[in-house]
Amino acid sequence: MSHFSVRFDRREGPPEAPVRVLAPSGELDAHTAPDFEAALQACLDGGDARLVVDGAGLDYVSSAGLGVFMAFVEPARTAGGDLKIAALPDRVFEVFDLLGFPTVFDMAPTVEAAVAAFDAR
């Protein structure tokens, strides 16, 4: 079985405009992508559209995981927020980069930088 979990109970940034931080951990593949999708959907359903994925705990991503990121970026932006990606390990970033995902997503070296980027626009 793939080891995967996702925490999404953390909020950063100013209290009047918080940023929800999701921290997936483990291997994001065709088996675990639905769990990640459910977490992102729960955030949107709860009214949080300012989202940062803290990728530091990700060991692996396949196209199924990339598809989940892609599914939520426009809904987040339409709702006035964004889906930013932070702190990806090099070996995981390689996969995003190979397909050109950095042209669509705001990718930051740290969660702090990603959170700060919401208010820098």
Partner 1 sequence: MAAPPETLWVRGQTAELARVRRRVSAWAEASGLPARAGRRIQLAVDETVANAIEHGLGAGRRVVVRGAPGRGGLTVTVRYRGARFDPTTAPTAPPDAALRARAKHGYGLHLIRRLVDDVAYRWDRGTNEVRLTVRAAPPPNAS
Q: Which of residues 74-113 bind partner 1 (CB under 8 A)?
A: 74, 91, 94-95, 98-101, 103-104
Least Cβ distance, residue 115 to partner 1 (angstroms): 24
Length of the chain (residues): 121
Q: Which of residues 7-46 bind partner 1 (CB under 8 A)?
A: 27, 29-31
71 sits near partner 1 (criterion: CB under 8 A): yes
- Residue 43 or residue 65: which is nearer to partner 1 going by CB? 65
d(Cα 63, Cα 69) in Å, to the nearest integer? 10
Number of C-alpha atoms within 13 angstroms, CB side, residue 110?
4
106 neighbors 117 (Cβ within 8 angstroms): yes
- Please choose, from the candidates 90, 72, 89, the residue with its C-alpha nearest in 3D space to the C-alpha of residue 36: 72
Distance in Å, CB of 79 to partner 1, minimum = 15
Helix (H) or strand (E) holding 59: strand 58-61
* Interface contacts to partner 1, rule CB under 8 A: 1-3, 27, 29-31, 60, 62-64, 66-68, 70-71, 73-74, 91, 94-95, 98-101, 103-104
